[in-house]
Amino acid sequence: MHRVPAMAPGNYGMPVTLIATEALTKRYPNGVTALSDLTVDVPPGVIGLVGANGAGKSTLIKILLGLLPPTSGRVSVLGMDPTAEPEQVRARVGYMPEHDCLPPDLAAAEFVTHMARMSGLPRAAARERASETLRHVGLYEERYRAIGGYSTGMKQRVKLAQALVHDPDLLLLDEPTNGLDPAGRDAMLNLIDRIGSEFGISLVVCSHLLGEVERICDTLVAIDGGKLLRAANISAMTKASDVLAIEVTEGGDALAARLSARGLDVRADGRDLLVPLAGDETYDVVLAAIAELDLPLHRLDQRRHHVSDLFRDTAGEPAHVG
Amino acid sequence: MSVEKQPSGVIHDIGYQRYTGARLGRSYATRSLYIHSLRTALGLGRGPKAKIFPWLAEGILLLVAAIVTAIRAQGGEAVLSYSEFAGQLSFLLILFCAATAPELVSRDLRSGVLPLYFSRPIRRSDYAFGKLAGMATATWLLLAVPQTLMFIGGVFSVSGVSAVWDETIEYGQGLLASALFALLFGAISILIASLAGRRAVTAALIVVAFLVTTPIYAVIQEVGSGPVKQLAGLINPVTLVLITNAWLTGDDLEGLGGNYGAIYALSTLIAILVCVLLLLLRYRKVAR
């Protein structure tokens, strides 16, 4: 049982368990097993759900929304069972699909208002919340223009706004940065980060890019081939594993050998050498070794351990779980 | 010259506010979808382009109703009864369905908006019913508004309480006839429109579905005889509802449905049910 300790970062005012699955299995009629014996228990916060395409992320989301019945096993979302009361779950959950899902000929304000009413908000509240939400995602002046004329970044914001408009307790975002340029990616990730920290709404962010979600997540769940690879609290995972990155312009191999001789676990990462940071004495050892070898030190900095390193043993590609 | 110090538009960000108001359930959401569909069908809340067709169609129907009312006021002769009104203008009705149903459901398929509906507190069947009800209501209104105009004119051209009462009954029968047209035409066109995302394609398919049997019907009327001739109307949606309405209002079925009026009525009912059933099946499966 993979239970992530509830280190509830922020006040989400919700049950300690956000999503819990128990031996969750989904087999499609064509024989494909999309999820296999998945047991995970995550607390409120920002959850990164990583896995390659076809790992089972979308199937898991559909089950969480009560759109797909699991073949076996149990699932609970916000303390409710999506197989037994799907409408109640969906009233409290917001979903942003991966693909295009916007009618081009409607204005964003009208579309988001309509979606708010579809979630059960009365007419006046729906209109008010729609313009509020569009303002929060950074669309305000443009909201009376037809969506068809929007840029990809603006469309992503409308997709996020329609998921957020009914003030859900949980947001499910499927590849929210898909198709965005680097600047748009950063803006979207910052927005997601704000939703989690300032708005107090829990999020599940699906991505096949680990490097992207690790920036903003409290909890990381990695699945592969429908099986749980690892689920852990990010700060707990990385706390004990900070590393010191050393970059010397020459003599890297000699330095690596010298450091290994001093009992440090040296690993090469591109042009950098990485050693586990135990404390100030690690700095002393490293600096002494560089001085003894008389090497030109280019850079020396403490680095937060990348989550990809944590999956290195279980997954092949460091930045691409799967 | 004085430099005016204008307060620069400071926006006070009051931050994100949690929503604490009412959350209405599934039936409210379905009703909202119905209202939205009805408005879409009538071109309300959308650009001027979307209004052209529904308002043009309604304009033509109102014009016909006005002319019929005027003739009646002049000569006292009703050239078109309330229940005949819908049947005589069925071609316009078919065009309206072909233009509107794809707008209501093909567009949702094409733009991929369905997952957003299905991730809300409604069921797939609620979506199908909401759309169908919106379509049928729009079609019914298209007929009922001109019929009401005819009724208002009619009431003023008859005299006596019993005559007004007769007029009211005929008007009611006319509204019922329009409802049958609206239900069957709406169900057929929404079902066909739900099959594909391309609006032009589904619009063409809808016209074909309504008209493909017309020549066959005409040929049978020409060469057929007896029961074959009298039952030929079953193969065409227009004649199906037309004869059902004639039977319901007790009109002369001579040469049309003969003694088979009840069969026509039953077939209309079955046709509507089958379309609704197929529509529900369609939305159980549709992925996007």
Instruction: Give A-chain residues touching B40 at CB under 8 angstroms.
Output: none
- Looking at residue A132, its pLDDT comes to 93
Q: Is B160 on the interface with A (CB under 8 A)?
A: no
Residue A202 has pLDDT above 80, yes or no: yes
Q: Give the number of other Cβ atoms within 10 Å of residue B130's Cβ.
A: 24
CB spacing of B121 vs A129 below 8 angstroms: no
Q: Which range among B9-23, B171-185, B254-268 shows the weakest confidence by mean pLDDT?
A: B9-23
- The shortest CB-CB distance from A167 to any of B18, B50, B123 is to B18
**Tokens, residue B32:** 């909202």
Q: Is A223 on the interface with B (CB under 8 A)?
A: no
- Looking at residue A314, its pLDDT comes to 45
Residue A111 has pLDDT above 80, yes or no: yes
The span from the CA of B182 to the CA of A172, in Å, is 40
* Residue from A117, A134, A197 to probe the interface with B (highest B Cβ count within 10 Å): A117
C-alpha separations of A19 from A62, A78, A138, A204, B199 in Å = 13, 6, 29, 10, 40
CB spacing of A118 vs B108 below 8 angstroms: no
User: Which chain B residue has its CA at the smallest distance from A64's CA?
Assistant: B119
* Residue from B119, B123, B131 to probe the interface with A (highest A Cβ count within 10 Å): B119
Q: What is the 3 state secondary structure string of chain A?
A: CCECCCCCCCCCCCCCCCEEEEEEEEECCCCCEEEEEEEEEECCCEEEEECCCCCCHHHHHHHHCCCCCCCEEEEEECCECCCCCHHHHHHHEEEECCCCCCCCCCEHHHHHHHHHHHCCCCHHHHHHHHHHHHHHCCCCHHHHCEHHHCCHHHHHHHHHHHHHCCCCCEEEEECCCCCCCHHHHHHHHHHHHHHHHCCCCEEEEEECCHHHHCCCCCEEEEEECCEEEEEEEHHHHHHCCCEEEEEECCCHHHHHHHHHHCCCCCEEECCEEEEECCCHHHHHHHHHHHHHHCCCEEEEEEECCCHHHHCCCCCCECCECC
Average pLDDT value over all residues in chain A: 85
User: Which chain B residue has its CA at the smallest distance from A167's CA?
Assistant: B19
* Residue from B11, B49, B116, B283 to probe the interface with A (highest A Cβ count within 10 Å): B116
CB spacing of B116 vs A129 below 8 angstroms: no
CB spacing of A162 vs B117 below 8 angstroms: no
The span from the CA of B269 to the CA of B263, in Å, is 10
The span from the CA of B232 to the CA of A230, in Å, is 68
> How confident is residue A236, by pLDDT bands cut at 50, 70 and 90?
low
- The shortest CB-CB distance from B19 to any of A99, A104, A129 is to A129
Residues 196-215 of A with CB under 8 A from B: 198-200
Instruction: Give A-chain residues touching B115 at CB under 8 angstroms.
Output: 95, 97, 101
Residue A119 has pLDDT above 90, yes or no: yes
Residue A1 has pLDDT above 70, yes or no: no
How far is the alpha carbon of B79 from chain A, nearest alpha carbon, in Å? 42
CB spacing of B46 vs A115 below 8 angstroms: no
User: Which chain A residue has its CA at the smallest distance from B39's CA?
Assistant: A114
Q: Enumerate residues 6+ apart whose C-beta is below 8 A from B267.
A: B234, B240, B244
Residue A3 has pLDDT above 60, yes or no: no
CB spacing of B18 vs A117 below 8 angstroms: no
ipTM: 0.86
pLDDT tens digits along B75-121: 767 778 888 888 888 889 999 999 999 999 999 999 999 999 999 99
Instruction: Give B-chain residues touching A87 at CB under 8 angstroms.
Output: 25-26, 121-123
- The shortest CB-CB distance from A110 to any of B19, B24, B45 is to B45
Instruction: Give B-chain residues touching A110 at CB under 8 angstroms.
Output: 45
Domain boundaries, chain B: 26-285
CB spacing of A103 vs B107 below 8 angstroms: yes
Instruction: Give B-chain residues touching A132 at CB under 8 angstroms.
Output: 17
User: Long-range contact list for A318-321, CB < 8 A, 24+ apart?
Assistant: A319/A209, A319/A210, A319/A211, A320/A52, A320/A208, A320/A209, A320/A210, A321/A50, A321/A51, A321/A52, A321/A55, A321/A208, A321/A210, A321/A222, A321/A224, A321/A229
Cα-flanking dihedrals φ and ψ of residue B61, to 5°? -60, -40
- Contact between B59 and B145 under an 8 Å Cβ cutoff? The reply is no
pLDDT tens digits along B200-232: 999 999 999 999 888 888 888 888 777 888 888
Residues 241-280 of A with CB under 8 A from B: none
CB spacing of A166 vs B17 below 8 angstroms: no
CB spacing of A91 vs B111 below 8 angstroms: no
> How confident is residue A9, by pLDDT bands cut at 50, 70 and 90?
very low
Residues 76-115 of A with CB under 8 A from B: 87-88, 90-91, 93, 95, 97, 99-106, 110, 114-115
Q: Which range among A104-113, B23-32, B160-169, B270-279 shows the weakest confidence by mean pLDDT?
A: B160-169
Q: Is B31 on the interface with A (CB under 8 A)?
A: no
- Looking at residue A18, its pLDDT comes to 92
- Looking at residue B157, its pLDDT comes to 82
pLDDT tens digits along A179-199: 899 899 999 999 999 999 889
Instruction: Give A-chain residues touching B104 at CB under 8 angstroms.
Output: none
